[in-house]
Amino acid sequence: ASMASCRCSAAAVLAVLLATGVAAKVTVVERSGELVLRCNSAPVQWSTGSHEKELNLGRLSSDPRGMYSCENGSRDVLQVYVRMCENCIDLDPGTISGIVVADVIITLLIAVAVSCVSGSEGGGASRASDKQVLIANEQLYQPLKKGEASEYSQISGSRPRRK
C-alpha cells in the first residue's frame, strides 16, 4: 500500500478519547508516517515526564498505543490505539466500477452460455417417451368374468398356501 493509503488508514483508526476535555487540550497529528500528540495548553507536562509541546509516539507501522495525558491542573487521559493494515488495497472509484462492470459482463456471458446449452437439446426430434397414447374410455377397465369375485381370485386356487 502506498503512503497515502497508510495515512488514510491511520486516520480512520487513530485515537479514542476517554475523557471529556482532552480533545481541546491534545491534538493528534500524523507527520511523515509518525504519530505525534500536541498539547495545546501551557505549561506542558506529559504523563511520560516530557515538557515538550509535541510528544512523538513513533512510526505508525510499529502500532503505537498507550495512555497519555497533558497535565494542566487536571488529569484527563487520552488512550491511543493504532492498528495499521498490512495488506490493505486502496480502492478508488475507478477500481470499484471496473470490478462491477467485469462482474456484470461475466454474469451475462454465463447466462448466454447456459441458454445456448439448454436450447440445443430442445431443437431435436421428439422422443417416443414424450408422446402420450390416449386410450378410449371403455378400455380402462376389464370386465370381470362370471363367477369371480375379484381379478386375483384365481391366484390363490392354483398354489397351496404356505404356513
Parse the chain into domains and list their residue ranges. 3-81, 91-121
For 66: left if phi > 0, alpha if psi spans -120 to 50, otherwise beta; the answer is left
User: What is the distance, to the nearest Å, from the Cα of residue 4 to the centroid of all Cα atoms in its chain?
Assistant: 25
Provide the pLDDT confidence category of residue 9 given band limits of 50, 70 and 90: very low
* CA distance linking residue 121 with residue 135, whole number of Å: 30
pLDDT tens profile 23-37: 457 788 888 888 888
pLDDT tens profile 20-71: 444 457 788 888 888 888 887 777 777 777 777 788 888 887 778 788 777 7
Grid coordinates representing 108? 451475462
Cis peptide before 93 (omega within 30 of 0): no
Least-confidence region, from 96-105, 109-118, 146-155: 146-155
Say whether pLDDT at 105 is over 90.
yes
92 Cβ contact list (under 8 Å, min separation 6): none
Q: Sheet harboring 65-68: ordered strands across?
A: 15-17, 78-81, 65-68
Query: Which of the listed CATH numbers 3.40.50.300, 3.40.630.30, 3.40.50.2300, 2.60.40.10 matches domain 3-81?
Result: 2.60.40.10
Grid coordinates representing 101? 462492470
* CA distance linking residue 97 with residue 113, whole number of Å: 24
Question: What's the whole-model pTM score?
Answer: 0.40
User: In angstroms, how far is the first alpha carbon of the chain from the final one?
Assistant: 87
Predicted local distance difference test score (pLDDT) of residue 72:
66
Say whether pLDDT at 107 is over 60.
yes
* CA distance linking residue 41 with residue 26, whole number of Å: 8
Query: How many CB atoms are located within 10 Å of the residue 79 CB?
Result: 15
